Amino acid sequence: MVKGLYHYIKEAWKKPDAKTLRERMVEWRASEVFTKVDKPLRLDKARALGYKDKKGFVIIRVRVMRGGHKRPRPNKGRKGKRMHTRKTLKMSYKWIAEQRADRKYKNLEVLNSYQIGKDGMHYFYEVIMVDPSVPEIKNDKTIHWICKSVNKNRAIRGITSAGKKSRGLRNRSPTNQSMPSVRAG
pLDDT at 175: 76
Segment among 5-14, 51-60, 76-85, 160-169 with least mean pLDDT: 76-85
Residue 102 CA to residue 94 CA, distance in Å, equals 12
Query: For all residues of the chain together, what is the average pLDDT?
Result: 89
**Residue 178: predicted pLDDT:** 73
pLDDT at 31 over 80: yes
**Low-confidence winner among 77-86, 117-126, 172-181 (lowest mean pLDDT):** 77-86
Sign of CA dihedral 51, 54, 57, 62: positive
User: What kind of architecture, by CATH, is found in domain 18-67+84-166?
Assistant: 3-Layer(aba) Sandwich (3.40)
Residue 68's pLDDT is 72
Closest alpha carbon to 33 in 107, 131, 104, 111: 104
- Checking if the pLDDT of 183 tops 90, the result is no
Confidence tier at 166 by pLDDT (50, 70, 90) = confident
Looking at the DSSP bridge assignments, the partners of residue 123 are 64, 118
pLDDT at 143 over 70: yes
141 versus 1: which is more confidently predicted? 141
Per-residue pLDDT tens over the stretch 50-75: 999 999 999 999 999 988 776 677 77
pLDDT at 48 over 80: yes
Residue 108's pLDDT is what? Answer: 95
- Let me know: does 111 contact 128? Beta carbons within 8 Å: yes
Domain ranges of the chain: 18-67+84-166
Contacts of 97 (CB under 8 A, 6+ apart): 62, 64, 113, 123, 125, 127
CB 66 within 8 A of CB 121: yes
